[in-house]
A and B are shown apart, each in its own frame.
Chain A
Amino acid sequence: GAGVSQTPSNKVTEKGKYVELRCDPISGHTALYWYRQSLGQGPEFLIYFQGTGAADDSGLPNDRFFAVRPEGSVSTLKIQRTERGDSAVYLCASKWDLNTEAFFGQGTRLTVV
């Protein structure tokens, strides 16, 4: 596809359930980011991949959050035992390398009820 694709666009889940959010980056982009955006706030960094490895996961809030990128392309953000406070828009971005701009997807809106 032409841009970063995120699925699903909306996800409603019950408290305590497990969810997976998917990101398809722009083809050929080696760097991939996950951000979380709460209502009225700016995007908050979660994790950054360079290729298959997580280069920086310092933004993951706790061990319920985990992300993978096994083949260096598609990435999945996994949230265990969801809590109402996890409700937010989760944004994915990708870019060619360190010195280029990041392109963002439209996000997945997660609602935990």
Chain B
Amino acid sequence: AQKVTQAQTEISVVEKEDVTLDCVYETRDTTYYLFWYKQPPSGELVFLIRRNSFDEQNEISGRYSWNFQKSTSSFNFTITASQVVDSAVYFCALRENRDDKIIFGKGTRLHILP
């Protein structure tokens, strides 16, 4: 069965610190897709990244970076030099190739303190 675990329920860091959000997934498929979404207080889910199971290359986009490791079934997300505007709930998600539903983790609430 497919499952996404975000063990960190809530994290608080001081502005400008780096922070890493953990994500561990379970799937029996060899082809799958991993996602990160941001949910600010407005409630809308904002897409951040999609990664397929055949591409383990780490990705960097500005202050955001993602570390995908199939050996440990992890897809961690790091924010460098955090800013108050990064405060939100972040969801990791998984879609197996066999169907089209996205399974979300329970989310990590991130507080960036000024």
Q: Is the interface of A mostly helix, strand, loop or mixed?
A: strand
Q: How far is the CA of A13 from the CA of B46 in the complex (A)?
A: 29
Residues of A within 8 A of B107 (CB): 41-42
Q: Which candidate, B61-69, B73-81, B97-105, is the interface stretch facing chain A? A: B97-105
A101 touching B47 by the CB < 8 A rule?
Answer: yes
Q: Which residues of A contact B105 (CB under 8 A)?
A: 42
Q: Is B50 an interface residue (CB 8 A)?
A: yes
**Shortest CB distance A42–B (Å):** 3
Q: Which residue of A lies closest to B106 (CB)?
A: A42
Q: A40-B106, A42-B104 are in contact. Are A104 and B44 (CB under 8 A)?
A: yes
With A42-B106, A42-B107 as known contacts, state yes or no: A48 contacts B45, CB within 8 Å: no
CA A93 to CA B4, docked complex, whole Å: 20
> B103: which of A45, A101, A104 is its contact (CB, 8 Å)?
A45
A4, closest chain B residue (CB): B44
| A35: B residues at CB distance < 8 A | 104
Judge whether A106 and B100 touch: CB under 8 Å.
Answer: no
Please report B residues at the A interface, Cβ cutoff 8 Å.
4, 35, 37, 42-47, 50, 91, 93, 99-107
Interface residues, chain A, with chain B CB atoms under 8 Å away: 31, 33, 35, 40-45, 48, 50, 55-56, 58-59, 89, 91, 93, 98, 101-107, 109
